[in-house]
Structures are given as C-alpha cells and as structure tokens.
Amino acid sequence: MTHSDFEIASITGSNKLGAFKPEMSTVPIYPSFKVRSSTELFSIYLPYQNNLWVYADGALQQLSLPPAFEPIVLGKKMDFKSPRMKLLYKDHPYVPTYRLIKNILLSEDNVLILQIQSYKKGEQVVFWDIEKEKITKTITSPPGKLIGRDSTFYYFYHDNAIKKYTAKEMEKCSNQQFTFYISSFEEQCQSCKTSFLNIYDWVRLHNIPYRFSVEDPNWFSSADKEDFREVVDYMTQWNVWGAVRFEDDCDDCFESGISVRVGKQGEIISLPAEIEKIQSRIPCVE
C-alpha cells in the first residue's frame, strides 16, 4: 500500500489526465499529497519530500527541488508496539518534523511559487520557472502559510488572521544577514529565551534573512544528519524555524547562552537585549 498509484480522472472516470506514483508516503493508508491547480497548469506535491509533479503541455512531469534543499524532512523514529503497525510503516517508520514544501501557488508564465521550510535554507518563498528548470528568485518568508496572491499583495495566514505584504515589503531587507548564536537549546535563562523569541518574531515580521548557528559538537568532524535532527527537534519544541548551520571557529559567538549578530562582522549582542538595540543596526526597517 505504501507505493500505490494514483489516478487523475473526471468524476465519472471517463476522462483520464494521468497517473502518478509517490516514491513514499508518510501515511501509507491516507497519502498526504496536495494538489494545486490553475487554468492551464496543476501540480501535486508531498509536503514531506522534495519532489512534485507538474501537469503542463499535456503531460505529468516529475520535478525535484534543487540539491540546496534537503531531499526529505527530518523526523523521529516511531516506537512500534504492534507488529501490524510495524508492517504498515516498514518502509518509512518515522514521524516527520516539518513540511519541506509548505505550500505551492501557481503563477502565470509557468512559474511555481513554493513556500519552503528547510533546515538548510530556512523558510523561503521560492519562484521556480518550470520551463527553464531553475529558481529565479527567493524571498525570506514572513510568518504563516502563503495562501494566495494578486497583482499587489501576497497573502499569508498566521495566528488566525490573514496578513498581506507587497513584494517590495517582503524584499526590502533581503540583503541583510542576521544570525542567532545558540550555545544550548536547553537554556535555563528565561529572560534570554523570552528576548530571543521577541527578536525572532520581529526579524520574521520584517522579512530579514536569518539563520541559527549552533556550536559544532564534533569539533574535528563535520556535523552529520543526527546532529541536525537533534537541533531540529529542539527548534520544534521552541516553535521556531530557520536555516541551521554548525560553527566551531567563533569562540565569542557562544560565550553566552544566546547571542545575535547583524551582518558578518557586526558586534555580537548577548541576550536579553532590547529590540531597539537590534533595530538601530538594521537600516532597512524604519
């Protein structure tokens, strides 16, 4: 059942558009793919992996996200009590932690607008030209789920509200670089964590590209997938998201529990800190 075929047909079944076969499904019985369509184009994707199908020019084509994104989401292994469950989930026995492809909008001119949640690249809105098979633009995503756009605004659903942004608003801080240095996600300093979450929300609200930098636990080797899995687990517990990288050559960065830095060479600011102190270093925010 985990590798079923799916068919796209009219309600009577008389007119068939095509069939597709996911390489895997995280929920074998009820597959979790999503379908998005416009007048002349439709796409099918699985939120937990990096491939999708696009129906264009009379054929269903399979595409994959570029290698800059992870091929599949990280997750936790399930602890099977029942042999039947073990059998059912034997191919993919894990619970996914996040959605790699969060949503897709279809644009004119064969462009897919994908909202991506990636531990390699952070949360981004990606414009993908299907004909040229390349990404033409990426924008740091505001909080929430991209639900639509018109000629003026992009619409996001977040905190039980619809929020709209112009492209200019979303891109105005795109040349900034902002880093959260976290020495431990088990931070005992509550005021540090509160300050971090305030700044995290503020940075996202202003579409400032940001990432999490975590001290490399291995020192003499590169971080492996398990290290990323652990960090992603902590991020999920804290309900935060962003690109993750490990760093082992910056002693100052990890002196306090949580610190931030604007730009590559900016001053390292230990938390707790006032947002005004951060804002004064980011000219794109009025």
Identify any residues that bridge with 44 across adjacent strands, giving them in sequence order. Answer: 35, 53
Residues 6+ apart with CB under 8 A from 157: 144, 145, 147, 163
Which of 2, 8, 80, 135: binder of other proteins (CB under 8 A)? Answer: 8
- State the binding string over 55-84 for other proteins (x if CB under 8 A, else -): x-----------------------------
HSE (side-chain half, CA atoms, 13 Å) at 147: 12
Q: Is 39 in the site for other proteins (CB under 8 A)?
A: yes
Which of 14, 70, 90, 169: binder of other proteins (CB under 8 A)? Answer: 169
Residues 265-284 within binding reach of other proteins (CB under 8 A): none
CA–CA separation, 200 vs 122, rounded Å? 13
Residue 155, SS3?
strand
Residue 165 vs 254, nearer CB to other proteins = 165
CA–CA separation, 78 vs 88, rounded Å? 12
Q: Is 93 in the site for other proteins (CB under 8 A)?
A: no
**Total number of residues that touch other proteins (CB under 8 A):** 39
By DSSP bridging, strand 258-262 and strand 268-270 are antiparallel
Q: Is 37 in the site for other proteins (CB under 8 A)?
A: yes
Q: Is 160 in the site for other proteins (CB under 8 A)?
A: yes
Which of 147, 250, 273, 282: binder of other proteins (CB under 8 A)? Answer: 147
HSE (side-chain half, CA atoms, 13 Å) at 46: 24
CA–CA separation, 140 vs 42, rounded Å? 25
CA–CA separation, 19 vs 9, rounded Å? 9
Q: Is 162 in the site for other proteins (CB under 8 A)?
A: yes
Q: Is 246 in the site for other proteins (CB under 8 A)?
A: no
Q: Is 202 in the site for other proteins (CB under 8 A)?
A: no
- Write out the residues near other proteins by the rule CB under 8 A: 4-11, 15, 17, 19, 30-31, 33-35, 37, 39-40, 42, 44, 55, 142, 145, 147-150, 153, 155, 157, 160-165, 169, 205
